[in-house]
Amino acid sequence: MTLLSFDGVTKRYARGYRELDALAEIQLDVEPGDFVAIWGGSRSGKTTLLRVAAGIEPPDDGRVAFDGQDLAALSRKRRARLLLTDIGCMWQTGRITRGLSVLDHVALPRFKRSSHAQARREAHDVLERVGAPQAANARWHELTDGERTRVALAHALIRRPRLLLADEPTASLNMIEREQVLGVLRSVAEEAGVAIVMTAPDAPNLLQSHRLMSLDGGRLIKPRSEQRGTLIDFPKAGERASRRG
Amino acid sequence: MKPPTALGQPAGAPPDDAPGLAPPEPLGVVCVAAGAAVVGVVAAGEVVVGVVAVVVDVAAGVVAALVIGGGDTVAPLSRLSPEPQAPSASAQTRPSGSTRTRGGRDIGPMLARHPPQPVAPPNRFRYARVPGASHWVGPLQSDSGSRPVKGGADDTMSVKYAVLGLLAQRRGYGYDLVQRFEEQVGPAWQLNAGAIYVALDKLEQEGLVRPVADGDGEAPPTRRRTVRGAPRVIYEATREGLERFEDWMATGSSMSPLREELHLKLALSQPRNLPRLIELTYEQEQTCLERLEQHLGGPGFDDLLPSTPPWSAVASVMVRDAEIAHLQATVEWLRRIREAMRWLQEQPDALRART
């Protein structure tokens, strides 16, 4: 059963008088346990891809389905609930919630479901799992970049998501931290069956994943082994011109 | 016996070992890239060399030239290089005869049509054409390649020294060397098993390696290693071979020229080709992704360094990382030129001005 599916998803941003294709006709199916790495440079559309996958942004065209449900057809409340329970996100600009300790920030998604003490115990466990138990009692400004990444990962994982969206989780990590974070992602996919979509800016960061593809100018380029049916959608000169109106 | 490892195994069964253990991939696997057709043809030639060398006891370089030349394909004329017995012989003094004929066709006149320049061109390369071949053949070196030539890596020479290095690590027989090469160098080289046997022949003739008794030490060294069923020959490096290997390690390394079919298409393209060229960049990027897929889950520095690994593991990862780095650079280049071509496509005026 496909967990996340993109069907012809297009997203455009208005930039002055012209439109910018942030995503163009994306076809992508992610199964539970898949660890998908998307390789894109800056402005390639990878953050937009994750935001659309999380249901934070609606697509302009096409359909995004999570577990068979069209995200755009869900109410705002249902989408918010999905983000609290089923979809974990690690954003590059991640910060902890203002006024909370690191531990409480990590435990936050569980506060509604279980007692605070129980949620904090879980937060401790998950911080241990991602290799940052010492971060629990630290202040945010005391954390290294590696620890912040791991706190963000713990925050995403504590809700026991079925889908994890990670935007450049390896940025600003050193070699050993990177291996640890990617190792956690890989084991979460393989042992817990979590589907992961991760973006990365360069090749070495991609190679711990199970599937890799490339995003450039909003177009997803897959190795031929990934091609099911249609070839990548080549931009047609006339089409692009007319789109700009 | 190590089972066949990753993708990109060399094609061609090693002749002296159990054929069941040979990597089963068809030749097509070897030439993944769109531009690799030429490589594929040469590869085919070399595999045939490996087999032919079994049957005919002719020095392999000659066989390579004959087989490839006869196949109407690209033939690096460096393979016409003199026999190891006369390693200093130059192209000019090379005796014509069996080395230059194929099926009674003398290719000597072809060489004569391209006499050595009185003033040597800067890169000492000349190109010649094999009769019947539709391509220009590879660099013609006047020397058999005993020194690295700037801009032109001589793969045959590299493999020869690699075989010497493998034998310096420990003795081994042909297929064992093929496997160790694959394991230590990785799939990116796209080694032809035949090249190892060719190298062994050359090395033995130069006295850099010698066959040693098999197993219990009873069996005499067998020269016919390639006949199926015959006892396999185990080689070891001679003292001179070890010295030669050390010399090679100390010398600078040549770098292969960057020859991609796509570069030629770009260079020879017209503005009207722009849409197709942009498509080609997508296709090329797909090919890069396919090659990168072969490295998925492979060991990286990240996994290795925290655990103080053996040097051989680090060295192997460094070599594999070279292909990853190359593929990454290629993809980034493809994205750059795609962006540039897109921009030009949307600016007809700019395009006209450049036509």
Residue B285 with chain A: CB contacts under 8 Å: 214, 216, 221
**What pLDDT does A202 receive?**
87
Most A-contacting residue of B273, B274, B286 (CB-CB within 10 A), to test interface:
B286
Helix (H, G, I), strand (E, B) or coil at A37: strand
Tokens of B348: 């007809």
Q: Do A234 and B335 touch (CB under 8 A)?
A: no
User: Between A207, A210, A223, which is nearest B290 by CB?
Assistant: A223
Spatial neighbors of B223 by CB under 8 A, at least 6 apart, are: B211, B233
Mutate to test the interface with B, among A20, A212, A221, A242 (most CBs of B within 10 A): A221
Q: Which of B265, B260, B206 is nearest to B86 (CA)?
A: B206
Please give the residue of chain A at the shortest CA–CA distance from B344.
A237
The answer to whether the CB atoms of B278 and A224 lie below 8 A apart is: no
Q: Are B124 and B117 in contact (CB under 8 A)?
A: no
Q: With contacts defined as CB-CB under 8 Å, which chain A residues touch B325? A: 203
What mean pLDDT comes out for the span A176-185?
A: 88
Which residue of chain A has the CA closest to B295? A207
What is the distance in angstroms between the Cα of A14 and the nearest Cα belonging to chain B?
Answer: 18
Higher pLDDT, B27 or A137: A137
DSSP state of B230: S
> The whole model's pTM is what?
0.67
A30: pLDDT strictly greater than 90: yes
- Which residues, at least 6 apart from B75, have a Cβ–Cβ distance to it below 8 Å? B45, B64, B65, B68, B69, B130, B133, B137, B138
Return the pLDDT at A154. Answer: 94
Instruction: Give the A:B interface size as CB pairs under 8 Å.
Output: 84
pLDDT value of residue A100: 86
Give pLDDT, residue B212. 86
Q: How far apart are CA A110 and CA A118, in angstroms?
A: 9
Hey, what's the torsion of the CAs at A85, A90, A94, A96, to 10 degrees?
40
- Outline where chain A has alpha helix (H): 46-53, 76-85, 102-111, 116-129, 145-157, 175-192, 237-244
The complex's ipTM works out to 0.85
pLDDT at A176: 81
Query: Are the C-beta atoms of residues A218 and A61 closer than 8 Å to each other?
Result: no
- Chain A hits for B279, CB-CB cut-off 8 Å, are 234
Contact A196, A36 (CB under 8 A): yes
Residue A141: CB partners within 8 Å, gap ≥ 6? none
Query: Which chain B residues have a beta carbon less than 8 Å from that of A240?
Result: 346
User: Cβ of A209 and B296 within 8 Å?
Assistant: yes
The verdict on a CB contact (< 8 Å) between A223 and B289 is yes
Q: Which pair of tokens denotes residue A174?
A: 């050193």
Tell how strand A35-40 and strand A195-200 pair up: parallel
The per-residue pLDDT for B167 is 94
Per-residue pLDDT 10s for chain B (355 aa) are 444 444 334 444 344 444 444 444 444 343 344 344 444 444 444 444 444 444 444 344 444 444 444 434 333 433 333 334 433 434 444 444 434 444 444 444 444 444 444 444 444 333 343 444 444 333 433 334 344 333 334 677 889 999 999 999 999 988 999 999 998 988 888 899 999 999 999 999 999 999 986 554 444 444 444 455 556 789 999 999 999 999 999 999 888 888 999 999 999 999 889 999 999 999 999 999 999 998 888 877 777 777 788 888 889 889 989 999 999 999 999 999 999 998 888 887 766 655 5
Interface of B with A (CB under 8 A): 274-275, 278-279, 282, 285-286, 289-290, 292-293, 295-298, 300-303, 305-306, 321, 324-325, 327-328, 331-332, 335, 338-339, 342, 345-346
| Amino acid letter, B61 | G
Would you state the pLDDT for residue B352?
Answer: 61
Residue B349's pLDDT is what?
74
Q: Considering only the beta carbons, identify the residue of A178, A204, A214 that sits closest to B285.
A: A214
Across the interface, of A207, A225, A240, the residue whose CB is closest to B300 is: A207
Q: Do B290 and A202 touch (CB under 8 A)?
A: no
Among chain B residues, CA nearest to A234: B279
What dihedral angle (degrees, nearest 10) is formed by the CA atoms of B328, B330, B333, B334? -110
CA distance B227 to chain A (A): 39
A232 phi/psi in degrees, rounded to 5: -60, 150
In angstroms, the separation between the Cα of residue A163 and the nearest Cα of chain B is 21
Which residue is listed with tokens 């990617």? A182
> What are A189's two structure tokens?
């996919």
Q: B144: number of CA atoms within 13 Å, CB side?
A: 19
Q: pLDDT per residue over A188-219, tens digit each?
A: 999 999 999 999 988 888 888 999 999 998 99
Beginning with the edge strand found earlier in the chain, give each strand of the sheet holding A69-70 in spatial order. Answer: A18-30, A4-15, A61-66, A69-70
Q: Contacts of residue B300 in chain A, CB cutoff 8 Å?
A: 179, 204, 207-208
Q: For A114-133, write each residue's pLDDT tens digit.
A: 899 999 999 999 999 998 99
How far off is chain A from B297, nearest CA to CA, in Å?
Answer: 5
Candidates A216, A224, A226, A228, partner chain B, best to mutate (most B CBs within 10 A): A216
- Flag if B325 and A203 touch (Cβ within 8 Å): yes
Looking at residue A185, its pLDDT comes to 94
Residues A71, A55 contacting (CB under 8 angstroms): yes
Contact B302 A237 (CB under 8 A): no
CA A138, distance to chain mean position in Å, is 26
